[in-house]
């Protein structure tokens, strides 16, 4: 169902890889709600994924960009404004990667070159995106910038590894930059702390199936899907939430406020 919530709004969506990814589902929802956008991903991810299919489906152009490169980001921003014929109203940062996780390095045995690369891609890239947009004065007043995060930034999920630190850093950037973006340009910056979601990135984490099923049994509403997250993101891009900024918003079926649930108790009191 479409409510035309984003009619006439323009933006950039980072990180769509395949139809499981939250960025992909968000792009589809934004399109349904009347928004137009440029899609972007790292050149290597573009070779792996099916982003061209999404571009055709939504009538979007693709601009490859390495989110850790200021030069690539500046080019992305100026080209997007040209393609979309004006400043931007929304941006989704949906990027994360840990080489330590990928290579099976334990949290207590990190390869710090891997750590630095993962931090650059997963967290510092958000600052680079915000700074690029800010300096180029690329956002319309009351625009909305959203990054995706996970609750491992607040609580311990041992196998989430150094991604937990990356997400904590990401959330801090949203608050700190959100102040300046709000004050100077009336632009809001928020993070969505999503339920564990079976995306390509998510499934790279060890014991992920257990993770998902535990969260589902703990949450009164169950886990929020990628599709649910797309809907929530659309609401944050819309004018309905224009006074919401510098927040880390839990989108997790209630998981973040739970201590224990009946189902978990039953599982362990046998």
HEC string of 32-55 equals HCCCEEEEECCHHHHHHCCHHHHH
The DSSP code for 241 is G
The dihedral formed by the CA atoms of 60, 65, 70 and 71, expressed in degrees to the nearest 10: -90
The mean pLDDT value for 115-134 works out to 98
The mean pLDDT value for 226-242 works out to 98
pLDDT level of residue 263 (50, 70, 90 thresholds): very high
Tally of CB atoms within 10 A around 262: 9
193: pLDDT strictly greater than 90: yes
Of the candidates 23, 13, 11, the one whose C-alpha atom is nearest the C-alpha of residue 201 is 23
User: b vs e for 72-83, b when ≥16 Cβ sit within 10 Å of the residue's Cβ?
Assistant: bbbebbebbbee
Angle, CA of 244, 120 and 145, to the nearest 5°: 20
Residue 17 and residue 24 in contact, taking contact as beta carbons nearer than 8 Å: yes
**Average pLDDT over the chain, rounded to whole?**
96
pLDDT level of residue 245 (50, 70, 90 thresholds): very high
Residue at token pair 């709000």? 182
Please report, in range form, the residues annotated as the binding site for NAD(+): 15, 21-22, 95, 167
Continuous H helices in the chain: 22-32, 43-48, 51-58, 70-83, 99-102, 112-119, 125-135, 163-185, 208-218, 226-237, 262-268
The mean pLDDT value for 56-81 works out to 98
Got the DSSP string for 111-151? -HHHHHHHHIIIIIHHHHHHHHHHHTT-EEEEEEEEEEE-G
Residue 65 and residue 79 in contact, taking contact as beta carbons nearer than 8 Å: no
The mean pLDDT value for 113-138 works out to 98
For the record, the structure tokens of 78 come out as 């100026």
160, 214, 232, 250: the catalytic one is 160
- The domain ranges of the chain are 10-268
Structure confidence at residue 46 (pLDDT): 83
The mean pLDDT value for 57-84 works out to 98
For the record, the structure tokens of 261 come out as 């649930």
92: pLDDT strictly greater than 80: yes
The mean pLDDT value for 22-39 works out to 98
90: pLDDT strictly greater than 90: yes
Of the candidates 97, 222, 76, 241, the one whose C-alpha atom is nearest the C-alpha of residue 167 is 97
3, 112, 134, 150: the catalytic one is 150
Is the domain covering 10-268 a CATH 3.90.1150.10 domain?
no
The DSSP code for 89 is E
The edge-to-edge listing of strands for the beta sheet with 61-62 is 61-62, 36-40, 10-14, 88-93, 139-149, 188-194, 248-251
Q: What is the pLDDT of residues 171-185, one digit of tens each?
A: 999 999 999 999 999
CA distances from 2 to 5, 235, 236, 242 (A): 8, 12, 15, 20
Structure confidence at residue 27 (pLDDT): 98
What is the reported pTM? 0.97
150 is catalytic: yes
205: pLDDT strictly greater than 80: no
68: pLDDT strictly greater than 80: yes
Between CA 16 and CA 27 the distance in angstroms is 8
232 is catalytic: no
């Amino acid at each position: 169902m479409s409510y035309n919530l984003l009619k006439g709004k323009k933006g950039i969506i980072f990180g769509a890889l395949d139809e499981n990814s939250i960025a992909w589902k968000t792009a589809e929802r934004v399109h349904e709600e009347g928004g137009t956008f440029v899609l972007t991903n790292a050149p290597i991810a573009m070779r792996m994924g099916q982003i061209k299919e999404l571009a055709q489906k939504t009538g979007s152009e693709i601009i490859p960009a390495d989110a850790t490169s200021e030069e690539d980001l500046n080019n992305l921003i100026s080209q997007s404004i040209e393609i979309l014929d004006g400043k931007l109203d929304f941006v989704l940062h949906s990027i994360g990667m840990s080489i330590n996780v990928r290579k099976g390095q334990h949290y207590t045995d990190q390869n710090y070159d891997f750590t630095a690369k993962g931090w650059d891609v997963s967290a510092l890239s958000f600052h680079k995106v915000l700074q690029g947009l800010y300096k180029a004065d690329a956002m319309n007043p009351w625009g909305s910038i959203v990054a995706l995060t996970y609750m491992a930034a607040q609580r311990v999920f041992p196998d989430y590894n150094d991604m937990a630190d990356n997400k904590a850093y990401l959330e801090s950037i949203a608050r700190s930059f959100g102040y300046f973006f709000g004050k100077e340009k009336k632009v809001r910056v928020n993070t969505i702390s999503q339920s564990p979601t079976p995306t390509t990135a998510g499934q790279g984490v060890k014991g992920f199936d257990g993770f998902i099923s535990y969260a589902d049994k703990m949450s009164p509403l169950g886990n929020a899907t990628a599709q649910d997250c797309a809907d929530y993101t659309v609401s944050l891009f819309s004018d309905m939430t224009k006074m919401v900024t510098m927040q880390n918003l839990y989108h997790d079926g209630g998981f973040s406020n739970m201590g224990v649930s009946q189902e978990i108790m039953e599982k362990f009191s046998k």
